[in-house]
Amino acid sequence: MDIKIRKAELTDIELLMKWRMRVLHEVFDISDNDPAEELEQANRIYYQSALQAGRHIACFACQGEDIIGCGGICLYQEMPSPDNFSGHCAYLMNIYTCPEFRGRGVGEMIVRWLVGQAVQRNITKIYLETSKPGRKLYEKTGFLDMPDMMKLSQPLAC
């Protein structure tokens, strides 16, 4: 397969939205009949702001003229620490390959391209969340479990 990874630009906003909503529908099991206008609008605002400011890099995996996958990486700043003096971090997300192309290395190409974008910016602290089907891909590309992480389940009452 001749697959090329192409960086998404702000002019690709409609394509980005189409693929983002496809990912959300599959990952969160959102019904096609479920209205998601607010979610779509929130994602559109995010892309417009974050792409323009350089806080998000998105890409498409293309076979010829056809898009067969996508991915993104959010770039952000945290407080510097002994394991990350610069405080620069990235959050890998939205990695998706069309079902008929899965198992052929497309997801790995997307992950490697996006991680490469972060590394070019001297970012080495890269996080992600995974689904069970995605775990093997991320382990193969060098990601490890972080057993010390936790997530707040609901807002605290103040």
Query: What pLDDT, in 10s, does the model give residues 106-133?
Result: 999 999 999 999 999 999 999 999 988 8
**CA neighbours within 13 Å on the CB side: how many for 37?**
1
Per-residue pLDDT of the chain (158 residues; tens, 9 = 90+): 799 999 999 999 999 999 999 999 888 888 777 778 999 999 999 999 999 999 999 999 999 999 999 999 999 999 999 999 999 999 999 999 999 999 999 999 999 999 999 999 999 999 999 988 899 999 999 999 998 889 899 989 88
Q: How many CB atoms lie within 10 A of CB 86?
A: 14
Domain segments of the chain as ranges: 3-140
Given this model, what pLDDT does residue 64 score?
Answer: 96
Q: State which H helix or E strand residue 40 sits in.
A: helix 37-53
Left (φ > 0), alpha (ψ -120 to 50) or beta: where does 12 sit?
alpha
How is domain 3-140 classified at the CATH fold level? Aminopeptidase (3.40.630)
- Three-state SS for 38? helix
